[in-house]
Structure 1
């Protein structure tokens, strides 16, 4: 049972890494140049600060999941048996998974809000619609944000497995009392 759970967690972490790196690379490499009036104007991810933070956070979260994936591979290779008391490590893994998921959700929400402003503009602040001029740029950002949502859904599943791994260590009869070994 534990070995199958480790394999499932490892597979989900692998898919999270793929989606996170895909999101960051699509955003980072997205540029479009247009001739506006007599000058060339280039749209890049650096024009929207939320996208700059998204790239940084996604690479950092992918690195975290890579470390956790290596933990899953090592534990699976020794048959899923942990050495010594693992309650503290399980708590740490659970809390870090929660933190990473919430940070990813926050930055993805901010990036989506910035993308919506790029599509609709804001007449009261005299912000023009960026996507009227740079359509390919906006489509690629939309695809990248879709990959970000996919990574977020995978991270929710990972967090669920992490919560299961933590709370199965505790007794079902008494609140937060460790099971006897």
Structure 2
């Protein structure tokens, strides 16, 4: 059973890594240039700070999942137990998975809010609808946000596996007492 959980965790981390990198690259490389009245204007991800932070966090989360995937591959190649002999490693993995998932969710929410603002505008602040002028830019951001949503769902499943790996080490009869003590 432990080997199956390790394979599932490794597969999910790989998928999370792929979708995180895809999301960050789609946002980072998205640009569109338009000739408006007498000047040329260019829309990039740097126009909204939420996208800049979103790209940074997505790349950082991808790096974290690459390290965790390496951990899974090393443990699988050695043939050892995942965290059965080291509850401290299980706690560390649990907390880091939680932190990465929640920070990614927060930046995803901010990027989604910025995207909605670009679609509908805000007349009271005299912000025009950005997507009326830069439609291809907005479609690509929408695709990137969809990939980001998929990565968040995968990371939520990973945190469930991480919490299972942690809490199966403890006895169900006595709270937070390691099994075998």
User: What TM-score comes out, normalization by structure 2 length?
Assistant: 0.97
Q: CA RMSD in A?
A: 1.2
Match of 2:160 in 1: 160
Unaligned runs of 5+ in 1: none
Q: Does 1:57 align with 2:57?
A: yes
- The aligned residue for residue 110 of structure 2 is 110
Bigger shift: residues 76-85 or 92-101 = 76-85
- Structure 1 contact 20–61 (Cα < 8 Å) conserved: yes
Give 1:139 deviation, angstroms.
0.3
1:29 shift after superposition = 0.4
CA deviations over 1:46-91 (Å, ceiling 9, x no partner): 0011000011000000000000000000111122325884100100
- What is the DSSP-based 3-state SS (H/G/I as helix, E as strand, rest coil) of the residue aligned with 1:68? helix
Q: Normalising by the residue count of structure 1, what TM-score does the alignment of the two structures yield?
A: 0.97
Cα distance change of structure 1 residues 70 and 38 upon mapping to structure 2, 3 Å threshold: same
User: Which contiguous aligned blocks of 4+ residues in structure 1 show a shift greater than 3 angstroms?
Assistant: 82-85
1:149 matched residue in structure 2: 149
Unaligned runs of 5+ in 2: none
2:125 matched residue in structure 1: 125
| Alignment correspondent of 2:27 | 27
Equivalent in the alignment of 2:75: 75
2:40 aligns with 40
Give me the whole-angstrom Cα distance separating, in 2, the residues matched to 1:82 and 1:154: 20
How far is 1:154 from its partner?
0.2
Count of matched residue pairs: 181
Question: In the TM superposition, what is the alpha-carbon distance from 1:27 to its structure 2 partner?
Answer: 0.3
